[in-house]
Structure 1
Amino acid sequence: MSRPTGGVEAFEAHASAADLDDLRARLAAARLPEAETVHGAAPGRRRWEQGVPLADLVDVVDYWRTGYDWRSFEERLNRIGQFRTTIDDLGIHFLHRRSPRADATPLILTHGWPGSIAEFTDVVDELADPADAGAPAFHVVVPSLPGFGYSDRPATTGWGTEKIAAAWVELMGRLGYAEFVAHGGDWGGVITTVLAGRFPAHVLGIHSTLAQAPPGLTTDGLTAVEREWTEETRDFWLHRAAYAKQQATRPQTVGYSLVDSPVGLLAWILDKFAEWSDTEDSPFERISRDRILDDVTLYWLTGTGASAARIYYESHHSLDPELRVDVPSAISMYPRDIEKCPRPWARERYRRIVRWRSPEAGGHFPSLEVPDHFVTDLREGLAAVLAADR
């Protein structure tokens, strides 16, 4: 990895008034389709069978235009501390909150799609400076994936999970963290797995909400619950993963809509928050409109709908079947996540699972859905990892 051309530089988020006015104007002028033809309007998941219901979208669009406060999110980002550095000729943006605690451990948190650094802004402070003096503390680093948020958009192919993991090692080294722990979910979980498998000299251990087993394993010996998990995961990839196929094969095509239409971008992302959250009808049962709009507006203002989608083109099904993780690992399978890996399968890749949990609530976005539990689970998992590493 090349050294930075300008080192690590402070960064502040500030959208222009013209860009915010343009967003509101586009929202006001949106041309919407007719309502879905799903029968029945009673609350429940059936309302979403054809995608985001028109009434729900109209409500969120109206709030986005008239009530949402982007400046509040900018202030939170700037208060945490934002920076950029250049790695392999690509600008990488990241949040960095150093803990005041002398015993703090460096921690890198990696998001996925359709997430962003917005997934972690509400938990950074508690991880870095916990209210409970007996809880472990961390120097927290939250990078924006290449092509996401305030990181640069790659102009060539090659920025897949392997290269991103190597870039994260370089990033942590530039911050003075030769050894660190790592957490991730979704693409962040894949990158965290690659980090642990490829760079064990730097990674003390990991916590992940995604475990991907090597291919070809049998269901023989699995419990009934574990068999159900495998069936649910198989059903997801067979019947509910059209978005992934589109972004893996034609990200540029869908990208025009995602960059040109804020309503199109909102619907594309909101659909996943609805389907992948631990809710019975609407994602707003657990996640506020403001938190989801923080994420969507970040995509919009940075124009990264297409470039973020390309991570699927670069990395879909790319995890090395032979990759093994020998550093201590803590894994949590949230009940309404889209991929749940049985522990016997996970052990085939993650050779030192020191903590395994199946929380009672939560889905694909636990830091937003169940933030208090997420922080506790992450702390306890990383504490187990660090104890095992001694």
Structure 2
Amino acid sequence: MQIESKLPDVGVTIFTKMSKMANEYGAINLAQGFPDFPVSPKLIDRVHHYMQQGMNQYAPMPGVPILREAIATKTEHCYGWKPNIDSEITVTCGAIEAINSAVTALIHTGDEVIIMDPAYDAYEPIINLQGAKAIGVPLRQPDYSIDWSAVSEQITEKTRMIMINSPHNPSGATISAHDLEALERITSGTGIMVLSDEVYEHIVFDGEAHQSVLRSEALRARSIVTSSFGKTFHATGWRMGYLIAPSTLMTEIRKVHQYNTFTIHTATQYSIADYLKKPDHYESVAPMYQKKRDFFLKVMDSSRFKPVPSQGTYFQLMDYSAISDKGDVAFSEWMTKEVGVATIPMSVFYQDKQDNKVLRFCFAKNEETLEAAAEKLCEL
């Protein structure tokens, strides 16, 4: 049977590939972004509690009301604005389902979507599946900041959406209040929507506040914001996320969501609603990860890797140009096989696959894991 692929240039993701190699060669996996320390026992106990209470059948399609209320309260606490729980919040199967459902619902054949380059590798395939085109705007080097003049130059009559991601995966860069002002300015008076991927919103370092588009009345009127409980509560396998959007956009997004995943694990929704009642449960996450970032940088200090500042997420970029002139894909594969540490090559996140001799390391690990990896890396 001859099949015409909708994604002819897409294979197995780099995360799957590098994790598989890490398993095959017994390497320490600093590639895929998952923590190797446990989820809070309190949160697990709440899931168990609600399963025993019989919360094991379908939840309402948008999410259980008590969780949507908790999300609205958290949003108001963090950003000074409370979304409507009935029409502006939907619980999703992770943030990636939220992004997929939003793009599928709102982007049409022939549309253009501006993304920042490098970008999380799922964005472009999701856009391509709609018959639309992803227009990559290069982030400035070396700080991975957004060049808003370059963004403005790429806006055409076909531009339907601008996608931003802060804190940024893969670089760890964050946007500022000035960035929000620039985004508001260039979208004012247009029909351009904003999709803001904010899954690492609670992992921002050095005392800085996360700059959500929800802080701006003008931006939230045209924006879809995606968030992740899996990232915040280091439970990535639970696939728990949500999105916030104006009711006019949410109506269309829910049309896709209801035929995509329909609803999300019921007992987990109730448990997270309970867990969100204490802001410390999400406000303590950034200091915990900053401690891990700083520890990783300390144990890597004697290496020949050059760190690129990480302002958020649980990723640290490292320049290896002083060590090897191999391409980043080849070097990351060699490190996995010969050194015993798996990482992610940065070139896979670029549309043109540019290679700047930079690797992405995940430091969402126990100190013992990070120290063991650093011992190997410092020998290079």
TM-score tier (shorter): under 0.3
Which fold has the larger relative contact order, with Cα–Cα distance below 8 Å and residues 6 or more apart in sequence? 2
Q: TM-score, normalised by structure 1?
A: 0.27
Q: TM-score, normalised by structure 2?
A: 0.28
